[in-house]
Amino acid sequence: MLSGKLAVVTGGANGIGAATARLLAAKGASVAVFDREAPREDFGAHHFPVDVTSRESIDAAFAAAGTPDILMVNAGTAEEQDFLDHTAGLWERTLAVNLSGAFHTLQAAARLMKARRRGAIVITASTNSFDGEARLTAYNASKAGLLGLLHTTANELGPYRIRVNAVCPGLIRTRLTEAQFSNPDLLREYFRHIPLGRGGRPEEVAQACVFLASDEASYITGATLCVDGGQMAGKFGTWTESRAEFSQGEWRLR
């Protein structure tokens, strides 16, 4: 289905990016992983050591990898700190990777795609693009900023037949969220607010990313697709002990 296509995945060495890179490869794409770290398993992807905070590093990798048909703008980082204690360093580090890194990656790729008059770009935003989860000021601001990047680039790149969309994952089990997933009391309360009663797997986000990048999404651009078990659809919580129980990391009806 994707044979003959080159897909670049930033942050493709771990978590959501790795699952997406693996799925793209399974569907026949040639996959280039742009990451500071090397992929943990060999599924045929080519690794380019890239730091997305450096435009030179991004440009050099595209010069070596070639013009992508598909770009996953996914590299990201998150650190918790109370707003009043947020340091300038934490703010700048987070914005440099999550927002400026996305700008540079997307612009470098779009300049190449423009000549071909086609391309599909998927940004990994977040449910935090919409909501202000406490202790994540810099992260939330970076993810909200990605929506500005999404809407503007979808607008400007549409004439070149380049589509730009975003996935907005909820709580997905990766190393970024290992602290939450190893705390059952926290999960019980968190997942009360998730209609599907559980956290997500990287592979479930990868399916949405690959759909948005594929020709099946040919008339979709500028869209955000939440992959969050319904978290953004509710307000006052779904699950109570009166009809359900929380065990093995998920809520189930009795």
How many other β-carbons are positioned within 10 Å of the β-carbon of residue 189? 12
Indicate whether 204 belongs to the interface with ligand NAD (CB under 6 A).
no
Indicate whether 37 belongs to the interface with ligand NAD (CB under 6 A).
yes
Q: How many residues bind ligand NAD (CB under 6 A)?
A: 30
Helices (H) and strands (E) in the chain, counts: 8, 9
Stretches 44-52, 64-72, 206-214, 234-242: which one binds ligand NAD (CB under 6 A)?
44-52
- Check the CA dihedral 139-142-146-148 and report its sign: positive
> Residues 111 to 150: which contact ligand NAD by CB under 6 A?
124, 126
**Contacting residue, 20, 53, 221, 224, with ligand NAD by CB under 6 A:** 53
Q: Which of the residues 143, 182, 235, 242 is marked catalytic?
A: 143
The string of DSSP letters for 28-65 reads T-EEEEEESS--SS-SSPEEEE--TT-HHHHHHHHHHH
Indicate whether 50 belongs to the interface with ligand NAD (CB under 6 A).
yes
The whole-angstrom separation of Cα 10 and Cα 105 is 8
> Does the annotation count 139 as an active-site position?
yes
The whole-angstrom separation of Cα 89 and Cα 211 is 36
Quick check: 17 and 33 in contact, CB under 8 A? yes
Indicate whether 11 belongs to the interface with ligand NAD (CB under 6 A).
yes
Quick check: 170 and 228 in contact, CB under 8 A? yes
> Residues 71 to 90: which contact ligand NAD by CB under 6 A?
74-78
The whole-angstrom separation of Cα 20 and Cα 230 is 21
Q: How near is the Cβ of 171 to ligand NAD at its closest, in Å?
A: 5
Indicate whether 177 belongs to the interface with ligand NAD (CB under 6 A).
yes
Of 11 and 68, which CB lies nearer to ligand NAD in the complex structure? 11
Which residues form the catalytic set? 126, 139, 143
Residues in contact with ligand NAD by the rule CB under 6 A: 10-11, 13-17, 35-37, 50-53, 74-78, 97, 101, 124, 126, 169, 171-172, 174-177
